[in-house]
Each structure stands twice: as C-alpha cells, then as structure tokens.
C-alpha cells in the first residue's frame, strides 16, 4: 500500500489536563501517514487521484486551533476520524502526536502517542 506522509507538522495548541497547559499555547509535532492506493495519481499526474496533503495539513491545524481536548489521544482520534471520513480513498491513517514541552520534570526530547485507524473502525 502506498503512503502519503506529513512529517512533524509543528502546531501550537492548548491540549492538556493542567490549567497551565490550557492557558498557554504549547508546541506539538504531528506526523500523519495515510495508506491509500495512489498509483493512478502517479500515472496521470492529477491531484484529484490522490489525497491532497495540503488539505490534510489544514485539517490538522484547524483541529488543533479549536481543540478542547485534554488528552493528545483525543486530538489524534478526532484527526484520524476526520481524515478517514473526508478521504474515502484512505485505507488507514496513523497519527503521531509529540509534545516536546510537556510539563514534566527532567530531561527528554518529547513525549507522545501514536494511533492507527482504518476505514470502518
């Protein structure tokens, strides 16, 4: 299966359980892998035969802008559902959400989650 990949989109949002996280925007790194048959797009060079990654980027950004989720799991689930609903050509989608500035004492690059959903889930 072919893949459309958006790697580490940097977004600002207020996802979190703590009041501090809800008040001040934090950085999130979102990666999306959509599995779909895109060979017709490769052969015809027509955007309508693939999944427009620009549209997917805007979906991820718009959802982050309005998200009232407390958990990054909730954001990822909502985004995966939107992608699968909007693009029936997508067979599955994997969404990774990393939180590099999580309010945790200690040294780390990021914390995060990754989910995979398929059409019909």
Active site amino acids: 99
CB neighbour burial string for 18-55, b if at least 16 within 10 angstroms, e if fewer: eeebeeeebebbbbbbbbbebeebeeeeeeeebbeeee
- Helix (H/G/I), strand (E/B), else coil: 96: strand
């Amino acid at each position: 299966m072919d893949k459309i990949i958006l790697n580490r989109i940097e977004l600002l949002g207020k996802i979190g359980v703590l009041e501090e996280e809800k008040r001040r925007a934090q950085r999130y790194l979102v990666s999306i892998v959509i599995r779909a048959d895109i060979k017709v797009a490769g052969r015809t060079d027509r955007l309508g035969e693939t999944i427009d990654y620009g549209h997917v980027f805007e979906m991820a950004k718009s959802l982050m802008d309005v998200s009232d989720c407390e958990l990054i799991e909730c954001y990822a689930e909502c985004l995966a559902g939107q992608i699968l609903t909007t693009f029936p050509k997508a067979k599955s989608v994997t969404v990774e959400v990393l939180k590099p500035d999580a309010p945790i004492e200690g040294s780390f690059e990021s914390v995060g989650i990754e989910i995979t959903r398929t059409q019909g889930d």
